Structure 1
Amino acid sequence: MPGRRPPQHKLSRQLIRMSWNKLNLYTLANKKLPNPATQKTLFQQMWQAKRETRGYHGAPVKERQWLRMFNPRLPTLNVKLGKNQQSHPNTAALTYAEMERRVDFIVFRSHFASSIWMARQMIRRGVVYLNGKKFRYPSHLVKDGDVVSVEPEAVVTLHKPTDEKSKVLEFKPKPYQQAFMFLPDYLEVNYNTCSTVFLRSPITRPGRSELPSPYPPEMHALAFEYYLKRGRSRP
């Protein structure tokens, strides 16, 4: 059908997504990073890095939306490291940091939804709240200290027990979710209340970046350069 989107987890595309889908886990486990030696030009390397990183860090976000969010001024590093400390990764690892303020990203990162697409559906269905008020805008960027909460019955891993009279929900893990069960440092999640506090933007630390990504900082740096050049070429 004209205008129909291709399957998000199509194996031939080899794109890693924000999803617990078994095909996505297969792609993640078997993914081979692009080899710069096989690409003739720097532009080809930048375009490939952009394709890969955007496939994970912004698949549901239109390119025009992302370009409005793209910040060409990444945070600068001003930290004195000890002799035994690792250096900070390239700050381009934070290229997509602003995406993490989106309500749909927070719902997914908090493990309330099994994919970024499910998170968006939950928000539009009216089962997600921002600072105690029902909220239906997946792309909204929260502020530091904002609280995102979800109705417990809508959380993907919570189910009613066989006793229908009981109001207690039971935790039942989903298949293939274990590889994605980590929490970034900038979120404070309370699973008793199904709520998350967004503490601050992701930062880099010695030897690592807080922004969860299946791709190394070097690929983010190439993607950053791609968008930096694209922004300069726009009228």
Structure 2
Amino acid sequence: MSKRHSAKYKLDRRMGENIWGRPKSPVNRREYGPGQHGQRRKGKVSDFGLQLRAKQKLKGYYGDVTEKQFKRTYAEAARIKGDTGMNLIGLLERRLDAVVYRAKFAPTVFAARQLVSHGHILVNGVKCNIASRRISVGDEISLGKKAQEMALVAEAQSLAERDMPDYVAPDGTSKVTFVRIPTLDEVPYPVRMEPNLVVEFYSR
């Protein structure tokens, strides 16, 4: 399981954007970066810098997936026919922890990963504790009995700041079906993601 050792919101401040769209993000109060030099005037960012930033933002959004895992997902996206950037988004959105987050079973991507790793999520009625598991179209993802009574789940379902996207169809409050692989426009990112720059970063 990928662990984020540094403070989650440090990524927000480093990027100067509220990546997860959370009301508690420090970017809502101050947009400059962390540390004593955070308020210095920023110089012009190189093409490489822009590409690296796009990769860090996308990787961080999905719960800070490890570099090895992210690179492997990119390599798979490059092998599939069609637009590599779109394929990459499709593969990331098919991760079990991402679907759990989209289904509003957890308030954050990190909480979604924890919910999966603790065995509270069922895929087609079978318990699964692998957060990176790839979900297929038509798969049913549901909450285990214990999870249905968790305060964390109730909090996530009451969140007003995000809606469930169309490619995740609810069936009651504790079950969803993954209807289709989304395109970039369908994914409800709170900030602009640029998978084309991620493709440029890896294809240098």
The normalised TM-score by structure 1 is: 0.66
Report deviation, 1:127: 1.4
Aligned mates of 1:179, 1:200 — CA distance in 2: 23
Equivalent residue number for residue 128 of structure 2: 135
> Unaligned 5+ residue runs, structure 1?
78-90, 160-170, 230-235
Report deviation, 1:43: 1.5
Equivalent residue number for residue 189 of structure 1: 170
Which of these residues, 36, 44, 58, is aligned with residue 39 of structure 1?
A: 44
Equivalent residue number for residue 5 of structure 2: 5
CA contact under 8 A between 2:89 and 2:183: conserved in structure 1? Answer: no
Letter in 1 for 2:165: P
Report deviation, 1:100: 0.9
Report deviation, 1:179: 1.7
Aligned mates of 1:123, 1:44 — CA distance in 2: 34
Q: CA 1:155–1:198 in structure 2 vs 1: closer, same or farther (change >3 Å)?
A: farther
Which of these residues, 189, 192, 203, is aligned with residue 216 of structure 1?
A: 192
Q: CA 1:225–1:29 in structure 2 vs 1: closer, same or farther (change >3 Å)?
A: farther
Aligned mates of 2:28, 2:134 — CA distance in 1: 28
Report deviation, 1:119: 1.0
Aligned mates of 1:29, 1:74 — CA distance in 2: 42
Aligned mates of 1:43, 1:138 — CA distance in 2: 30
Q: Over residues 174-221 of structure 1, what are the superposed CA-to-partner deviations in whole Å (9 max), with x where a residue is unaligned? A: xxx3222x12221112234x11111121125xxxx112223436x332
Q: CA 1:73–1:29 in structure 2 vs 1: closer, same or farther (change >3 Å)?
A: farther
Aligned mates of 1:149, 1:155 — CA distance in 2: 17
Aligned mates of 2:153, 2:4 — CA distance in 1: 30
Q: CA 1:38–1:93 in structure 2 vs 1: closer, same or farther (change >3 Å)?
A: farther
Within a 5 Å distance, the mapping from 1:78-157 to structure 2 comes to 92=85, 95-151=88-144, 152-154=148-150, 156-157=152-153
Equivalent residue number for residue 178 of structure 1: 160
Report deviation, 1:66: 1.0
Equivalent residue number for residue 168 of structure 1: none
Q: CA 1:186–1:155 in structure 2 vs 1: closer, same or farther (change >3 Å)?
A: farther
Aligned mates of 1:60, 1:48 — CA distance in 2: 13
Q: What secondary structure does 1:121 align onto?
A: helix
Aligned mates of 1:53, 1:31 — CA distance in 2: 19
Which of these residues, 205, 211, 226, is aligned with residue 201 of structure 2?
A: 226
Which has the larger Rg? 1
CA contact under 8 A between 1:113 and 1:156: conserved in structure 2? Answer: yes
The normalised TM-score by structure 2 is: 0.75
Report deviation, 1:69: 0.9
Equivalent residue number for residue 200 of structure 1: 180
Q: Over residues 130-166 of structure 1, what are the superposed CA-to-partner deviations in whole Å (9 max), with x where a residue is unaligned? A: 100111111100111111101321363439xxxxxxx
CA contact under 8 A between 1:129 and 1:148: conserved in structure 2? Answer: yes
Number of residue pairs matched by the alignment: 186
Say what the alpha-carbon RMSD is for the aligned residues.
3.3
Q: What secondary structure does 1:212 align onto?
A: coil
Letter in 2 for 1:47: L
Q: What secondary structure does 1:9 align onto?
A: helix
